[in-house]
């Protein structure tokens, strides 16, 4: 399948139809002999596997129009560079606790899978960083609320090709560290507490082969760094919310 064919199929799928876009990219991935299905941002499968940079090619970025509209709305933008949590540890990034992961393709699913080269917009204001009403919800309930929030944001900004996803753990940590480098602000620090509880982001990173447990990122105390614990995807917690994690989607 040529890139021209992929482009035609994506246009035929229609702007913003992520499910069909995923199907097109998955077909191309399998045609190149890789065999396994892999999800793009926001897709949920029983055992998630990582989209590798060599599959996506060039980083997926917002257009100039999208970038301006998001920044004017209070967002800040970052481009993950393929870091792993293991590399962040080696670079002496502040971590307190990191859950165990399982081995997939010889690598630890939590610590050795890289962030994806997809530009991210976040809203650092503690009142806007999280999608509303996503605490004490299951992962699937949070995903539904994230989709509703993304629809409202598209309508508000007039940007049909943006969406919101649950990030991978390595993406969440890389973006949070980038924001701290740029501003000195610890997102998920004390200012992001809810009802007296430290906050966590729900991620799309499975911590077991069954995919029933997923990693969370948060609890960033000044004296001990970020935590990456685990929580059952089928239950909620007042601590764990879905971040407003905005990414480009659709045809570019």
Q: Quick one: 31 exposed, middle or buried, by C-beta within 10 A (0-12, 13-18, 19+)?
A: exposed
Three-state DSSP at 110 gives coil
Residue 186 resides in a domain: yes
- Say what the pLDDT of residue 250 is: 62
> Which tokens in the block code for residue 210?
């069954």
Residue 59 resides in a domain: no
Q: Taking phi first (over 0 means left), then psi (-120 to 50 degrees means alpha), and beta for anything else, what does residue 42 get? A: left
Residue 234 resides in a domain: yes
**Domain co-membership, 12 together with 123:** no
Average pLDDT of the chain, as a whole number: 83
Residues 214-238 have a mean pLDDT of 96
**Confidence check: pLDDT of 142 > 60:** yes
**Domain co-membership, 12 together with 69:** no
For 114-132, what is each residue's pLDDT tens digit?
999 999 999 999 999 999 9
**Confidence check: pLDDT of 44 > 90:** no
Show which of 13, 29, 54 is a domain's final residue. 54
**Domain co-membership, 22 together with 78:** no
Sorted by sequence, the CB contacts under 8 Å of residue 109 that are 6+ apart come out as: 101, 102, 103, 205, 206, 207
**Domain co-membership, 21 together with 117:** no
**Domain co-membership, 84 together with 37:** no
Residue 16 resides in a domain: yes
**Domain co-membership, 47 together with 77:** no
Distance between CA atoms of residues 6 and 106, nearest Å:
30
> Which tokens in the block code for residue 153?
């944001």
For residue 57, name the pLDDT band (cuts at 50, 70, 90): low
Sorted by sequence, the CB contacts under 8 Å of residue 172 that are 6+ apart come out as: 201, 203, 217, 243, 245
- Say what the pLDDT of residue 40 is: 39
Show which of 16, 32, 54 is a domain's final residue. 54
**Domain co-membership, 26 together with 110:** no
**Domain co-membership, 78 together with 195:** yes
**Domain co-membership, 115 together with 198:** yes
**Domain co-membership, 83 together with 146:** yes
**Domain co-membership, 68 together with 33:** no
Residue 88 resides in a domain: yes
Handedness of CA 135, 188, 207, 142 (dihedral sign): positive
**Domain co-membership, 217 together with 119:** yes
Counting the structural domains of the chain, the total is 2
Q: What residue ranges in 99-248 does DSSP mark as E strands?
A: 103-104, 107-108, 120-122, 162-164, 200-206, 213-221, 225-228, 230-232, 240-241, 246-248
Residue 81 resides in a domain: yes
For residue 183, name the pLDDT band (cuts at 50, 70, 90): very high
- Say what the pLDDT of residue 115 is: 95
Show which of 27, 54, 81 is a domain's final residue. 54
Residue 30's domain spans which residues?
3-54
Q: Supply the pTM of this predicted model.
A: 0.77
CB atoms under 10 Å from CB of 230, counted, come to 18
Residues 228 and 97: beta-carbon distance below 8 Å: yes
- Say what the pLDDT of residue 58 is: 77
């Amino acid at each position: 399948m040529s890139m021209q064919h992929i482009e035609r199929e994506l246009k035929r799928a229609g702007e913003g139809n992520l499910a069909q876009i995923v199907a097109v990219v998955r077909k191309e991935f399998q045609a190149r002999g890789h065999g396994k299905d892999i999800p793009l941002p926001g897709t949920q499968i029983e055992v998630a596997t990582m989209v590798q940079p060599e599959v996506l090619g060039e980083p997926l970025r917002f257009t100039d129009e999208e970038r301006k509209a998001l920044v004017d709305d209070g967002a800040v933008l970052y481009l993950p560079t393929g870091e792993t949590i293991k590399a962040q540890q080696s670079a002496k990034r502040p971590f307190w606790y990191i859950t165990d992961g399982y081995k997939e393709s010889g690598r630890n699913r939590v610590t050795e899978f890289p962030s994806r080269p997809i530009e991210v917009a976040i809203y650092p204001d503690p009142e806007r960083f999280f999608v509303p009403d996503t605490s004490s919800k299951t992962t699937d309930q949070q995903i539904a609320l994230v989709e509703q929030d993304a629809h409202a944001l598209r309508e508000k900004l007039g940007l049909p090709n943006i969406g919101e996803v649950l990030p991978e753990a390595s993406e969440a940590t890389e973006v949070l560290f980038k924001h701290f480098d740029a501003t000195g602000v610890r997102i998920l620090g004390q200012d992001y507490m809810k009802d007296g509880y430290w906050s966590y982001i729900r991620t799309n990173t499975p911590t077991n082969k069954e995919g029933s447990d997923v990693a969370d990122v948060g609890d960033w105390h000044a004296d001990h760094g970020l935590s990456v614990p685990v929580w059952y995807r089928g239950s909620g917690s007042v601590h764990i919310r879905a971040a407003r994690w905005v990414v480009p989607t659709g045809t570019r």
